[in-house]
Amino acid sequence: MNSDPLILGRVIGDVIDYFTASIKMSVIYNNKEIFTGYEVPFPSTVKTKPRIQIQGGDMRSLFTLIMIDPDVPGPSDPYMKEHLHWMVTDIPGTTDSTFGKELTSYEKPKPNIGIHRYVFVLFKQKRGNKYSITCPFSRDHFNTRNFADQNDLGVPVAAAYFNARRATAPRRR
């Protein structure tokens, strides 16, 4: 049995094909690292954009990061998948997402039905291909595999995800 959280969470299969990670990527919200496959207890934890640390490559290596929700509108019938929440390009290796160029602004997770996966996928851009990533015209019906093909990004170098569900309203007495 494979214990890789990307396989167990069906991120590999639903969103991306199998790959071997070659870069370490950390997803940090409010100075707290989010671990792959874990559930974020409160959506308020992720309302502001995270800092994505890239440990690997060098300053001449450039990376593209995307964050998507493959479970829109709900995990049992995700007919609108994938929804693009964030895109940052031209991130130099050994730095973090704040050094890149934000092509699509951060949209906080807001799941309505069930438990949603929020997936971060990191691609290494080909040498000399700075500013050549094309931004999709819509956040809806995004496709990670097609995006990678259209922008000549190849296979991911890192991926991570967390789960989140709709915040429950406080109960009245």
What average pLDDT does the structure give for the chain? 91
Give CA angle at 63 (62, 69), nearest 5°. 165
Per-residue pLDDT tens for 117-130?
999 999 999 866 66
CA distances to 16, 45, 94 from 53, in Å: 21, 18, 7
Contact assessment for residue 134 and residue 151, using Cβ atoms and an 8 Å cutoff: yes
Q: Which amino acid is at 119?
A: V
Cβ neighbour number for residue 131 with a 10 Å cutoff:
10
Average pLDDT over residues 155-165: 96
Residue 48 has pLDDT above 90, yes or no: yes
3-state secondary structure the chain: CCCCHHHHCCHHHHCECCCCCCCEEEEEECCEEECCCCECCCHHHHCCCCEEEEECCCCCCEEEEEEEECCCCCCCCCCCCCEEEEEEEEEECCCEHHHCEEEECCCCCCCCCCEEEEEEEEEECCCCCCCCCCCCCCCCCCCHHHHHHHCCCCCCCEEEEEEEECCCCCCCC
Ordered by where they begin, the domains of the chain are 5-165 (3.90.280.10)
Contact assessment for residue 88 and residue 49, using Cβ atoms and an 8 Å cutoff: no
Residue 69 has pLDDT above 80, yes or no: yes
Per-residue pLDDT tens for 86-99?
999 999 999 999 99
The pLDDT of residue 44 is: 81
